[in-house]
Amino acid sequence: MKDIYDRPVSGHFIVQCLDESGTILDEYENHNLIMDKARTAMSNLICDLSSAQPLNKFVLGIEGHIPGDYLTPKTSVQGFISSRSNLFSEESATFSYPIVFTNPGTSSGSCVVVSEPDLGSAVELLYVGTDVKYTIDIPVTAANGTGTVVYTEAALYAGTNIFSMKCFPGKIKDNTVSLRIIWTIKL
């Protein structure tokens, strides 16, 4: 018998900045880091433990870059490692933007946004084969902090544990830019 699945759990991350008409102004795409706690989350789900948590939170942060250089993401040298338990922003108690949601209970559809600091974000789920894709749309009216924010890190959480994380070159967010994050987890 031969196993047809020869890849480990992995992820793919896309962040897009869009103008008010939906035109892509800027885009970054790359693989993301699957965290150590993701393996625990998957084991809990497989065992159907009462403590099992599906992916239920997305967070953007502002500390995923080399200090003084918004275009250079942190690497393992600066602590971007699979054993992290918080975003850099959460660890340093600087600005972060969390969106808590519940999955639709089907293989695709709109997630219910339970909470976010502002209003209007949408989370869509698409499950095909062994791939799970979340598309997070953050409108021009949300995630602007006190006017303009430069985001450089993001994470998907299962309960209180980071499932996957990505540091990326700075993306400017203000009231003229919406963000779309397309995050695929490949099992």
Residue 1 lies in a domain: no
Asked if residues 17 and 26 have their Cβ atoms less than 8 Å apart, the reply is yes
Asked if residues 62 and 167 have their Cβ atoms less than 8 Å apart, the reply is no
Residue 59 lies in a domain: yes
Asked if residues 121 and 113 have their Cβ atoms less than 8 Å apart, the reply is yes
- What is the per-residue pLDDT across 121-133, written as a single tens digit (0 to 9) for each? 999 999 998 899 9
Asked if residues 133 and 156 have their Cβ atoms less than 8 Å apart, the reply is no
- What is the per-residue pLDDT across 22-79, written as a single tens digit (0 to 9) for each? 999 999 999 998 888 877 777 777 786 777 788 999 999 999 999 999 999 999 999 9
Residue 135 lies in a domain: yes
- What is the per-residue pLDDT across 70-117, written as a single tens digit (0 to 9) for each? 999 999 999 999 999 999 999 999 999 999 999 998 889 999 999 999
Residue 78 lies in a domain: yes
Residue 83 lies in a domain: yes
- CA 35/CA 53 separation, integer angstroms: 15
Residue 95 lies in a domain: yes
Structural tokens at position 117: 């600091």
Q: Which residues pair with 99 in a beta bridge?
A: 58
Please say if the pLDDT value at position 5 is more than 50.
no
Asked if residues 63 and 153 have their Cβ atoms less than 8 Å apart, the reply is yes
Structural domain of 97: 10-186
Residue 44 lies in a domain: yes
- CA 136/CA 123 separation, integer angstroms: 5
Structural domain tally of the chain? 1
CB neighbours of residue 76 within 10 Å:
9
